[in-house]
Amino acid sequence: MPEQTPDDATAQIIDAHTFFTTKRSARASRLADGLARRAQVPLASHAISPPMADRPDSLAILRSQESSREPALIPLRYARMAESPFAFLRGAAAVMASDLSWVPRSDLNVQLCGDAHLANFGMFASTERVLMFDMNDFDETLPGSFDWDVKRLAVSMAVAAQSNGLKDKDARKAARACVASYRVTMAKLSDMRTLDVWNARLDVDTLLARLTKSSLRKATVKASDKSRRSTTDSALLKLTEVIDGKRIVSKSLAGSARRMQSLMQVQALDHGSQIDYRIEIEPASWIPSSLGINFLQHELAEQFNALGREMLRRK
């Protein structure tokens, strides 16, 4: 088998426009292609670990990302990653991507999630207001070899099992069950039309019907009830209040945000003063997109109004 390097991996990734505009080949052709790829990259080869002698330093990879991140939040990121092996796995997608670039891959390209670990699955309402269970984080999506997503998901299942005190054999069982379910589902989807695949989904009611263990079913019911309560109406009650029985305004920052950091610079100009103001707000609870902008606008307006009053007082 030819040696693969990260440069080879980059060369194999297709652009998004090509991916979405290329017609899908017939099932028989895709099956033949898959079998040919398996002959080139046997299943056993996916168990190969990256060569330790050539493996880039994990901390160096993480540090290389700091230039694109908010400096004040970098210590918080590392503190969260240090809490547990699973927390580190969640934050180290770049490290795992680097490792995967050194080992055999199928080169059967799909639109990857890019960070398909266990915690990036959850419940949310569809446009038809049906509670669904699916991936809910696509901020690192990119076309690439499908097995990268599968491997990251399988690893996260094993690490999550270990982090919850389960034995290694149980962690392996969880990972095997995960990839077996993926294999069975993909086999079913391969027989379906493209539009039917696009519309395929798993709603929570169907998921509950499949669960037989009472403890797991009870936990799923509890999680689904919480998701159903997380609506724009509940967020409205948390983030707004009525003044004088007729005016609704955003609640004060102290009651609606867990943490707020800001950086302000004042620069003298010929025609006056220029204020550069950057703010980072971490809400204490989930804020829907429809209210998030109004929330930020209100908080920024309050900050600038207070600043203006203080400047006038000191004048």
Q: Looking at per-residue confidence, does 226 or 239 come out higher?
A: 226
Going by DSSP bridges, is the β-strand pair 247-250/257-269 parallel, antiparallel, or unpaired? Answer: unpaired
CA distances 291 to 247, 254, 255, 280, 295, Å, are 16, 17, 16, 17, 6
Q: How far is CA 168 from the centre of its chain?
A: 26
Residue 96 CB coordination number (10 Å): 19
Is residue 92 within 8 A of residue 84, CB to CB? The reply is: no
Q: Are 95 and 62 in contact (CB under 8 A)?
A: yes
Confidence at 95, pLDDT banded by 50, 70, 90: very high
How far is it, in rounded angstroms, from Cα 244 to Cα 229? Answer: 28
Q: What is the pTM of this model?
A: 0.67
Count of helix runs (H) and strand runs (E) in the chain: 15, 8
Other residues' Cβ atoms within 10 Å of the Cβ of residue 277: 13
Residue 68: pLDDT over 80: yes
Per-residue pLDDT at 210: 86
Look up residue 174 and give its amino acid.
A
122-149 confidence digits (pLDDT tens): 888 887 888 999 998 888 888 889 999 9
Q: What single string gives the DSSP state of each residue in 242-289?
A: EETTTEEEEPPHHHHEEEEEEEEEEEEETTEEEEEEEEEEEESS---H
Residue 145: both structure tokens together: 């070899």
Give the model's pLDDT for residue 127: 78
100 close to 53: Cβ distance less than 8 angstroms:
no
Q: Which residue has the higher pLDDT, 315 or 184?
A: 184
Average pLDDT over residues 5-24: 59
pLDDT above 50 for 86: yes
Question: Residue 140 has what pLDDT?
Answer: 83
Please report, rounded to a whole number, the percentage of residues in the chain having pLDDT higher than 90.
31
